[in-house]
Amino acid sequence: MLSVHTSPLHQPGTGDAGGMNVYIVELSKRLAELGVEVEVFTRTTSSDLPPTVELAPGVLVRHVTAGPYEGLVKEDLSAQLCAFTHGVLRTEAGHRPGHYDLVHSHYWLSGQVGWLAADRWGVPLVHTMHTMAKVKNAALAEGDTPEPAARVIGETQVVDAADRLIANTADEAQELAQHYGAGPDQLAVVHPGVNLEVFRPAGPRDQGRGSPADEAAVRAARDAARDRLGLPAGATVLLFAGRIQPLKAPDVLLRAVAVLLERDPTLRERLVVPVVGGPSGTGLARPESLHKLAAQLGIGDIVRFHPPVGQAELVQWYRAATALVMPSHSESFGLVALEAQACGTPVVAAAVGGLPVAVRHGVTGFLVDGHDPHDWARTLQRFLDDPGLGDRLGPAAARHAARFGWGASAAATAEVYADAMGRPGSDAARVPSRLRRASAR
């Protein structure tokens, strides 16, 4: 696997680390459990990093020196692709011929490296876009910077070179065909997953029972999480969790909350809006912009900013929340939505990208068309008017998320690998027996 611009070892929620990091980590671990050895190449960002790190049994992270360790943003990395490719090829040259059976690249920068490596080694290239420039530019947040033409060209080249393209949803597969000319024989739809061992409800809600006793236990678990996090037990808690950048649109949540308070100032006494995450992408240019917006809107007292946290603490934030709010302008899938629902927390999300797959409207949460703060305020008002709404949606949210375990994603991905290696015109005997077994599970 290739992950040029962000390491699977980085903490999701800040910088360029996000859902793609979680995707690579979880997919790699589950593939290894199926008997597929995985090596992830990523760029070295510190002189203190060792050349290799064992992420899990059967999963090795290799650090490649390409450019200065620090100070490079994602937009600068295209100039370092030659150096990164050299490091990848040199590593392979130290092994016996045929050491790598397949290349799986993530994001277009990695696709450029994968294109050359796969061609050099005579192995298939499987690519996952994660995000696409043309799609992002079509749904650009106000004032955000469009993706450059160089990225569009680079993505087109990767699509042309890839043997298989893994899309998160059928809609993403259609976008790959429409915007980049991907052929039907290239496309495979594999839904991402959620770590159901980590992200799960506390108490009876994980069994999906809905008796009054169960709801009482759920409220007790939620209150316990709030007590640990310093959140008021009786408040409506509207959580934003993720990278702070215009694409994720946390400003829409803040503006919607300001609308709610304008209509009913008494809500200030029972409304809390935690923002868990750090500046990322174009948000790095104005890292304090969301803090300033909260102050300008007069809601600085109810918005609580918290830096990114590890999975164990993130579970507590999800469990403590009345609802997770995702007003994104674009999402290839929305892993955060699955994580929250797996914890039994409903989600209010924009009806974009893969979020209509991740969230079942009216069953596990609500989908909102557009980004008008008044529309979002109307949907969020439902949780204020009906304090038990989240408790009633929670069991269905947990059951829905349980359908998206990473084990199923890994098995489907292994099937794509085996198909790419045994496609007509290639040497079908090249498919390793372990991969055939994994894809059959």
Same domain, 423 and 392: no
Binding residues for Mg(2+): 318-319, 321, 345
Q: Please tell me the predicted confidence (pLDDT) of residue 430.
A: 52
CA distance 170 to 103: 23
Taking only the tens place, the pLDDT of each residue in 223-256 is 889 999 999 988 999 999 988 988 899 999 999 9
| 438 has pLDDT over 80 | no
Q: Does residue 123 fall inside a structural domain?
A: yes
| 180 has pLDDT over 70 | yes
Same domain, 235 and 306: yes
Q: Please tell me the predicted confidence (pLDDT) of residue 440.
A: 59
Same domain, 35 and 179: yes
Residue 199 or 282, more confident:
199
Taking only the tens place, the pLDDT of each residue in 201-213 is 876 444 443 333 3
Q: In what order do the strands lie in the sheet with 52-56?
A: 52-56, 59-64, 38-43, 2-3, 103-106, 125-128, 164-167, 187-189
Single-letter code of the amino acid located at 65:
T
Q: Does residue 284 fall inside a structural domain?
A: yes
Q: Does residue 228 fall inside a structural domain?
A: yes
Q: Does residue 37 fall inside a structural domain?
A: yes
Q: Which domain holds residue 243?
A: 214-401
Which of 326, 259, 250 shows the shortest CA–CA distance to 299? 259
| 365 has pLDDT over 80 | yes
Taking only the tens place, the pLDDT of each residue in 305-362 is 999 898 899 999 999 999 999 999 989 888 999 999 999 999 999 999 999 999 999 9
Binding residues for 1D-myo-inositol 3-phosphate: 5, 16-21, 74, 107, 131, 151
Exposed/middle/buried for 414, CB within 10 Å: 0-12, 13-18, 19+?
A: buried
Residue 275 or 201, more confident:
275
Q: Please tell me the predicted confidence (pLDDT) of residue 145.
A: 87
Binding residues: 5, 11-12, 16-21, 74, 107, 131, 151, 243, 248, 309, 318-319, 321, 331, 339, 345
Same domain, 283 and 417: no
Q: Does residue 205 fall inside a structural domain?
A: no
- Give pTM, 2 decimals: 0.85
CATH number at residue 130: 3.40.50.2000
Q: Please tell me the predicted confidence (pLDDT) of residue 166.
A: 98
Same domain, 300 and 228: yes
Average pLDDT of the chain, as a whole number = 89
Q: Does residue 201 fall inside a structural domain?
A: no
Q: Does residue 158 fall inside a structural domain?
A: yes
Same domain, 100 and 234: no
Q: Please tell me the predicted confidence (pLDDT) of residue 213.
A: 35
**Partners of 349 in beta bridges:** 326, 367
Residue 105 or 6, more confident:
105
Same domain, 235 and 88: no
Same domain, 241 and 132: no
Same domain, 436 and 333: no
Q: Does residue 298 fall inside a structural domain?
A: yes
Taking only the tens place, the pLDDT of each residue in 50-77 is 999 999 999 999 999 998 888 777 788 8
**pLDDT (mean) for 187-212:** 73
**pLDDT (mean) for 364-390:** 96
**Partners of 255 in beta bridges:** none
Number of domains, the chain: 2
Same domain, 297 and 397: yes
What is the phi-psi region of residue 417: left when phi exceeds 0, alpha when psi lies from -120 to 50, beta otherwise?
alpha
Q: Would you say 335 and 355 are in contact if contact means Cβ atoms under 8 Å apart?
A: no
Taking only the tens place, the pLDDT of each residue in 11-33 is 665 556 667 888 999 999 999 99
Same domain, 270 and 353: yes
Same domain, 395 and 413: no
Residue 366 or 7, more confident:
366
Six-digit token pair at 365?
């949460």
Q: Residue 428's pLDDT band (boundaries 50, 70, 90)?
A: very low
